[in-house]
Structure 1
Amino acid sequence: MPLHVPPAPAPALRSVLTALGSPAAVRGAPTPALRSVQGTVSAELPLPVHVLDQVVPRPGRRPRTRLAGWRFLVRSGEHAIAAADTMLTPDGWAFSHFFEGPYIASTERALIQAEALQDDYQPRLLSVPELYMITLWLHGDTGADAASGTPAPTDLLVPLAPAPPGIAAHRAHRVADLLPVMTLRVTPAPLLGSPA
């Protein structure tokens, strides 16, 4: 089924296109692939980046997320070579930075995997700072406002590579199944008595 990619705010897209058109911004980026590209590049597949504020929510509460920005894959030819992040400032959406690394190819791979699923989803990215982890968040409500919401128990999370130890990358997990695993990863083990 097709993914329902939400439209990015127009100012966010404009800020990325302006940065891509700026030789100074591209030369100053820590992205050798972007600096050395010959020909044109495009900003595609805008994904809202949400941050999971606490893996272990308060009792009786669902996990809370907040929108941190929009990420665009920067494509040259057939593949993404970098990404461009935007952030919300007091003056509106603004370009933040370019970057590259394993999450670029991993994001592309996860999106291809998601296209093969039987259900429709709205793709988002979910950052889990407590675990140094990023997932492709496949939200079941395709008409939802991409800038808000929390992961529903039936939504899918696809951890991007590299994933934390004990969590399989590129495997779709229901939120209800993965959240307890993530909780165990950040909860300190109880002390087993004092030494003699």
Structure 2
Amino acid sequence: MLLHVPPAPAPALRSVLTALGSPTAVQEARTPSLRAAQGPATPELPLPVHVLDRITPTGEWVTRLAGWRFLIRCGDRAVAAAETMLTPDGWAFSHFFEGPYIAATERALRQAEEAATQPYQARLLSVPKLYMLTLWLHGDCSADGASGSLAATDLLVPLAPAPPGVAAHRPHGVADLLPVLTLRMAPAPLLGSPA
């Protein structure tokens, strides 16, 4: 297997299992597909979710771990996802959700597994300023999934829906995609006042 999924912290997994076992948490979730699911629901494919915090003046992307995301599978398909977050007391369940990124994540993971020519560690990278989520294929499989920064050899696979002009579900080298995204995230120049 060329695609490695890092192990989630045990308390994060326990918090998701507890939420799945709570009829109140499931029924109050804004996830009709999870509420309507028949049979047992299980958390799978834990992925660390990193958020782009800022870009330094030298162009380095600074990321931070925001949580762990688990796809919630019922039968043969993922019906929702569960997000966990780090609190002062440790890892805790945050919320269930559904939407296009669930299927897009499954598709990107499947495509990466089929196309990978070298081992990668799977992560997610969120770029809030562009409303963008990518599958981050990190080249160091032995790295701690909760830490680390983008490496020049890493690949980013934008998930659908991707921002206009960015091809979804196509792997992009970090060196190729980051300059494009950096340009898009730059503040718009102030226009002079009309004469």
Aligned partner of residue 127 in structure 1, secondary structure = strand
- Please, what TM-score do these two structures have when normalized by structure 1? 0.95
Q: d(CA) in 2 for partners of 1:46 and 1:109?
A: 15
Counterpart residue type for residue 34 of structure 1:
L
3-state SS in 1 of match to 2:4: coil
Task: Give % identity.
Answer: 75
Q: Secondary structure at the match of 2:34?
A: helix
The 5-angstrom pairing of residues 30-45 of structure 1 reads: 30-45=30-45
CA distance in 1, matches of 2:18, 2:27: 14
Q: Which residue does 1:112 correspond to in 2?
A: 110
CA distance in 2, matches of 1:122, 1:44: 16
Distance apart, 1:114 and its partner CA: 0.7
Q: Distance in 2 between matches of 1:191 and 1:50?
A: 31
Deviation at 1:144, TM superposition (A): 0.2
TM-score with structure 2 length normalisation?
0.96
Partner residue in 2 for 1:162: 161
2:120 maps to a residue whose letter is Y
Instruction: Identify the match of residue 68 of structure 1 among 66, 69, 74.
Output: 66
Instruction: Name the amino acid aligned to 2:47.
Output: L
Q: Distance in 1 between matches of 2:9 and 2:30?
A: 25
- Partners in 2 of 1:103 and 1:192 — Cα distance? 36
The residue number in structure 2 matching 1:2 is 2
Aligned positions of 1:45-124 closer than 5 A: 45-54=45-54, 57-60=55-58, 62-116=60-114, 117-124=116-123
Look up the equivalent residue of 1:127 and give its one-letter code.
S
SS at 1:12's partner residue? helix
Offset from partner CA, 1:2-60 (integer Å, 9 cap, x none): 31110000000000001001100000000000000111111000000000112xx2233
- Unmatched segments (≥5 aa) in structure 2: none
Return the structure number with greater strand share: 2
CA distance in 1, matches of 2:157, 2:91: 27
SS in 1 for 2:147: coil
Q: Note if contact 2:100-2:160 (Cα within 8 Å) is conserved in structure 1.
A: yes
1:118 positional shift: 0.9
Question: Structure 2 vs 1, CA of residues 78 and 90 (structure 1 numbering), >3 Å: closer, same or farther?
Answer: same
Cα deviation for residue 178 of structure 1 reads 0.4
Query: Deviating runs (4+, > 4 A) in structure 1?
Result: 191-194
State how far apart, in whole Å, the 1-side matches of 2:42 and 2:151 are: 32
Amino acid at match of 1:123: A
Cα distance in 1 for partners of 2:190, 2:90 equals: 48
CA distance in 1, matches of 2:170, 2:31: 28
Alpha-carbon deviations, 1:161-193, whole Å to 9, x = none?
111111111010011110011011112343565
**What do you get for the CA RMSD once the two structures are aligned?**
1.2
User: Partners of 1:158 and 1:145 in 2: how far apart?
Assistant: 20
Cα deviation code 1:59-118 (max 9, x no counterpart): 335211100000000001111110000000111100000000000000000000110211
